[in-house]
Amino acid sequence: MAYSEDEIIKVAPFFGGEEAVSVVRALMKLGDSTDESIAAETGIRINVVRKILYKLYDHALVASTRVRNENTGWYTFYWKLQLDQLDAFIRSRKRRTLKKLAARLEYERSHTFFTCENCPEVRITFEEAMETAFRCPKCDSPLKNVDNTRIVERLAELVKKLEEELSE
C-alpha cells in the first residue's frame, strides 16, 4: 500500500508534536536538505530539528547522505523523506498495538473484577478482593462485582479490526 504525504503528516506528531510536522513539511518542500536549511525554513532550533530527524531516521522514514567538505573535513548530512517506508512503520505499530490489545482482552476475559462505589479508581481482581475480604483497600467499603462485558466486546472489536487491516 502506497502512502501519500498526507499520511506522513498524520504520523509526524508521534516523533515530536507540531515541530515534527513542521520538519516533515519542510522536507517535503525542500527535498534533499541539510538540518540547517530545515531549521531555517521552520524557525525551529537546530538541536530540536536534529532530534526529530534522528527519530524519523530510527524508523526509516528519512534517509541521510553524508558528504564530506574537502576544505574543512566536516561532514554535512542531507536528509530526505522515504515515503515508501511509511507502510512498514504503520504496520509495525499496528502489530504492536494488536499484541497489547490481545493481551488486555485475554486478561479481561480471564478475570472477575470488583470496584468500590466510593473510590472510582479502585478496580481489582477477584483474587485481590479475596485478600481484602471484599472490602475496599482505600476506604474499607464493601466491593461490588463489575460486569466487564462491554470492555471485552470493545476490545474484541478493536482486535478484529486490526487483524483485518493487517491481513490486507
DSSP summary character for residue 117: S
For residue 3, is pLDDT > 80? no
Structural domains present in the chain:
5-81 (1.10.10.10), 88-167 (no CATH)
Do residues 1 and 8 make contact, with C-beta atoms less than 8 angstroms apart? no
pLDDT digits (tens, 9 = 90+) for 86-138: 888 888 889 999 999 999 999 999 999 999 999 989 999 999 999 999 999 99
- Residue (of 44, 47, 67, 43) closest to 55 by Cα position: 47
Give 44's contacts (C-beta < 8 A, 6+ positions apart).
19, 22, 23, 38
Do residues 122 and 115 make contact, with C-beta atoms less than 8 angstroms apart? yes
Mean pLDDT (whole number) for 57-78:
91
- The whole-number pLDDT of residue 1 equals 41
Q: Is the dihedral of CA 13, 16, 22, 26 positive or negative?
A: negative
| Strand 143-146 with 75-81, pairing | unpaired
List the grid coordinates of 132: 481484602
pLDDT digits (tens, 9 = 90+) for 21-63: 999 999 999 989 999 999 999 999 999 999 999 999 999 899 9
